[in-house]
Each structure stands twice: as structure tokens, then as C-alpha cells.
Amino acid sequence: MSEDVPNDGEIRLVTAVVRPDRLGDVKRALAEVGAPSLTVTNVSGRGSQPAKKGQWRGEEYTVDLHQKVKIECVVADIPAETVADAIADAARTGEPGDGKVFIMPVDDAVQVRTGKTGRDAV
């Protein structure tokens, strides 16, 4: 899938924290850019806005952590920036709370079944 994509010579981890209801679109977008492998974790979090205030049985309470999903994709043949942009475009609604994408360096990888290491293991 990635034969014609320039190879940046490095392994990277792309981590995104997005709205749970954008996961389907993000998975499709990842498959389309040739990076279908991913790991998903249920998380909660908050960004830079002050906590939301609500009412429950007459008591005021603070919703301070919102449910999100974390998506992690380790890539070698596809540039991490391509993957980050694909995720961001698929996850965007334009409203506060859409999430973040972070790119981190990876030193090495092992594919458990085959024992392969390095870029071939990703």
C-alpha cells in the first residue's frame, strides 16, 4: 500500500486523543493512507477550557473529565505527519474538545509472531 510514499527513514508513534464517535471515521482514514494498524484505549481527559458546570437533582456539579478514545499508530513507511493529518481531518468537528495528536520517536520494534525487528516489524 505504501510503495509510492516517501520513506522518512524513521519509526514514529502517532498518538491521538479524539471524541469516541469519531473513531470509525479515523479508522477509515488510516486505512486510506495505508496505515491500518492501530491500538485503541478508552480514556478521559480535559483540555484547556474550564470545567463544564451542570445540575443534578438541584446540586451543581462539575464535569471535569470527558470520555475520549486514544488511538496509537506506529508507522515506518508512511510519514507520521501524513498519519497525523489524516487523523485530525477525520476527527475534526470544529467544536472545542476535538482533541490532539502527538508524534513521538520510536527506537525499535519487534513483530512478536515473526521476531522481525526494525521498520519491517511495524
Ligand X SMILES: Nc1ncnc2c1ncn2[C@@H]1O[C@H](COP(=O)(O)OP(=O)(O)OP(=O)(O)O)[C@@H](O)[C@H]1O
Residues 31-90 within binding reach of Mg ion (CB under 5 A): 47, 49
Toward Mg ion, which CB reaches closer, 79 or 99?
99
What the block records as the C-alpha cell of 14 is 502517532
Q: Which of 77, 75, 72 is nearest to 26 (CA)?
A: 72
Q: At what angle do helices 80-91 and 23-32 cross, to 10 degrees?
A: 150
One residue of 2, 8, 25, 66 binding ligand X per CB under 6 A: 66
Q: Which residue, 34 or 97, is less far from Mg ion as judged by CB?
A: 97
5 binding a second copy? (CB under 8 A): no
- Which grid coordinates belong to 43? 480514556
**Contact present, 121 and 32 (Cβ < 8 Å):** no
Chain centroid, CA 12 distance in Å: 12
Task: Answer yes or no whether residue 87 interacts with ligand X by CB under 6 A.
Answer: no
Q: Which stretch binds ligand X (CB under 6 A): 2-10, 20-28, 34-42, 83-91?
A: 34-42
| Site membership for ligand X, residue 71 (CB under 6 A) | no
